[in-house]
Amino acid sequence: MQQKLNPAPTDPTQQMIFAWMPWIFMFMLGSFASGLVIYWIANNTITFIQQYTIMRSHGYKPDVFGNILTSLRLRAKTDGGKS
């Protein structure tokens, strides 16, 4: 969700890397000590809230869930409904 606050990169390779990075980190960090995983989740949550609040205070209302739904619709169109 945090990545959806930022504009998407124009390079398709970067878009793909940024789309897969959270999933890769989830599996990489899943075997770490539970304290580190809790820290990582708390840090990402606080960072998301902070960035969202700053953007709202500057007059921009990010549509996080709309961005997620839009990216899923675009992926479905480019896959031709295969996924």
| pTM across the whole model | 0.47
pLDDT of residue 79: 64
Rg of the chain in Å (alpha carbons)? 15
Average pLDDT over residues 46-65: 83
**How many Cα atoms are found within 13 Å in the side-chain-facing hemisphere of 64?**
11
For the chain, the structural domain boundaries read 10-79
Which of 71, 73, 69 lies closest to 81, judged by CA? 73
The residue that leads in pLDDT, 82 or 41, is 41
Among the residue ranges 11-15, 26-30, 38-42, the one predicted with the least confidence is 26-30
- Model confidence at 31: pLDDT above 70: yes
**Segment 16-28, tens digit of pLDDT:** 887 788 788 778 7
- Model confidence at 1: pLDDT above 80: no
Which residues have CB under 8 Å from 22's CB, separation 6+? Answer: 3
pLDDT of residue 13: 84
